[in-house]
Structure 1
């Protein structure tokens, strides 16, 4: 990535590199002294899809494994026991 120094005008505007011409951008204020500008693709609201609409179905093997684990869950490991104890301590 190249670094360039550019000056803003009296209204705080700066000219972006030509590769940003006619692009939709996201301007994110990272800090008081830093902005991040990224090209963006805008999707109209009526074209948004729920994650469930694009999720691939499980294979027969994965489905069977999932159902088996629901019926016969494994014993909790140490990390799960610690997490549960911490949760109960704060919320119990």
Structure 2
């Protein structure tokens, strides 16, 4: 597993997508793709597995990209301080 970010803020759009801040440097996510499994480790010690819904392409990018998650998670499920980790694939 590899740490992507520690969430400072979560924004929930009307369509239910969750947009996480801060953005992640391109170099860290270069092998990450839509649908990859992530693990969220919350400040209270609980964790939840989810999948990357999409990327936020920021303008100007400043060499960073945002991460988006989707339902069934809500903003309340991702408090500030939540760590977002990649989950190693079991595929060869």
Q: Same fold (TM over 0.5)?
A: no
Identify, as 1 or 2, the structure richer in helix.
1
Higher relative contact order structure (alpha carbons within 8 Å, sequence separation ≥ 6): 2
* TM value normalised by structure 1: 0.29
Identify, as 1 or 2, the structure richer in strand.
2
Structure with the greater alpha carbon radius of gyration: 1
